[in-house]
Amino acid sequence: MQNWLEAQGVRLVTNCKVTDLDLKTEDGKHIVTGIHCLRGDKSEVIAVNDDDFVFIQNGSMTDASSLGSMTSAPGKLTKADSGGWTLWEKLAQGRPQFGKPKVFNSCIAQSCWESFTVTLKKPAFFDKMIQFSGNQPGTGGLVTFKDSNWLMSIVLAHQPHFLNQPVDVQVFWGYALFPDRVGNFVPKPMDECNGAEILRELCGHLRFDPETVESANCIPCRMPYITSMFMPRVRGDRPLPVPRGSKNLAFISQFVEIPDDVVFTVEYSVRAAQMVVYALLDIDRKIPAVTPHAESHQAQFKALIKSFK
Ligand SMILES: Cc1cc2nc3c(=O)[nH]c(=O)nc-3n(C[C@H](O)[C@H](O)[C@H](O)COP(=O)(O)OP(=O)(O)OC[C@H]3O[C@@H](n4cnc5c(N)ncnc54)[C@H](O)[C@@H]3O)c2cc1C
């Protein structure tokens, strides 16, 4: 993707944080005239010309995420450590049409969960999981330990999962929705556990011997805003992708208002980007429709059956 974009003349700049925008108002229209950013620790301002457009990421589910290791729990970061939400907060100050970021980022206790990735150099864990679940990796769904205090799940994808993954290495992913609760086999909340302790909790639920994950490397990842887009909201808390009265500024993210679409998906961000590009550049193309799965009789029937299980 990166190679393809660069071949089209796109200049990608990394290690650069956008911290603010210069905005002016003309005939009731908001116009961005400059982009403030930090490159390393150097601040700079990028001038925005009359025919330029500015597409801004307002909020991110992975903001302030932190990694642990086999011997350390991830640090407990907040938006104050990462600064990712600050830009949207600054832009929305005094401009109600730019949404209300605080609705989404003010309660880490409700928006946090933790994931972990495990790298194995011995096949014992995968072999035992195949035996236990009856599924080859990549063919079953998630395995959820529904009675676990942390509400933990794991996913064994088809192997190799990564390009150039060595044949004798296997990887899997897992997560837990209640990392602030004490475990069933480890007497600690997950968000205070290192990778070794998470593996101990996992093996406890599976009734697997600890040797099954011998030499495994488990990296925990705490994500304080991972479900922030599901926080209770009302219309107007999320801006329109192209906010009312904006001449050259648009928002692209999981925190824009798109009727009927479902957040926590790549599709949502892609649709937002299509909408703003077509609108601001006046491109006459249709946005792919959202399929109303929730209204299908089959889905509703399945939901009814499930609700009685
Ligand atoms: C663990 C996990 C599992 C998921 N599973 C699925 C799945 O199965 N299916 C699915 O469809 N979706 C899934 N998602 C969701 C999907 O990954 C996201 O919805 C999608 O990546 C959001 O895309 P985005 O471009 O809006 O934001 P992001 O991918 O978050 O990208 C935003 C980028 O902007 C950068 N940025 C933010 N603020 C600034 C700033 N001020 N200055 C400079 N850069 C900035 C960030 O660093 C980041 O690189 C999952 C997400 C996670 C975390």
- C-beta of 62 in contact with ligand 1 (< 6 A): yes
Calculate the alpha carbon distances from 181 to 77, 150, 151, 185, 224 in Å: 18, 6, 9, 12, 15
Is any ligand 1 atom within 6 A of the Cβ of residue 264? yes
Residue 265 CB less than 6 A away from ligand 1: yes
Ligand 1 neighbour 87 (Cβ under 6 A): yes
Query: For residue 200, is it within any domain?
Result: yes
CA of 60 from ligand 1 middle (Å) equals: 6
Say how many C-beta atoms besides its own lie within 10 A of residue 93's C-beta: 9
Place 40 in a pLDDT band, splitting at 50, 70 and 90: confident
| Pick from 186, 71, 64, 161: nearest CA to 114 | 64
The domain in which residue 182 lies consists of: 113-223
> What is the model's pLDDT at position 84?
87
Q: Tens digit of pLDDT for each residue in 204-256?
A: 999 999 999 998 999 999 999 999 999 999 999 999 999 999 999 999 999 99
For residue 30, the model assigns a pLDDT of: 92
Q: Clarify whether residues 137 and 173 are in a common domain.
A: yes
Residue 71 lies in a domain: no
Say whether both 98 and 192 belong to one domain: no
The model's pTM is 0.92
Residue pLDDT, tens place only, 178-203? 999 999 999 999 999 999 999 999 99
The 10s digit of each residue's pLDDT in 79-129 is 999 888 999 999 999 999 999 999 999 999 999 999 999 999 999 999 999
Measured from the Cα of 83, ligand 1's closest atom is 41
Q: How far is the CA of 126 from the centre of ligand 1 (A)?
A: 29
Query: What mean pLDDT do residues 296-306 have?
Result: 92
User: First CA to last CA across the chain, in angstroms?
Assistant: 44
What is the number of domains present in the chain?
2
Please identify which residue in the block is written with the tokens 């290690």: 15
Q: Quick one: which of 236, 262, 238 has its CA closest to 252?
A: 238
User: 8 lies in a domain?
Assistant: yes
Over residues 247-273, mean pLDDT: 96
Mean pLDDT score of the chain: 95
Residue at a domain's end among 177, 200, 223: 223
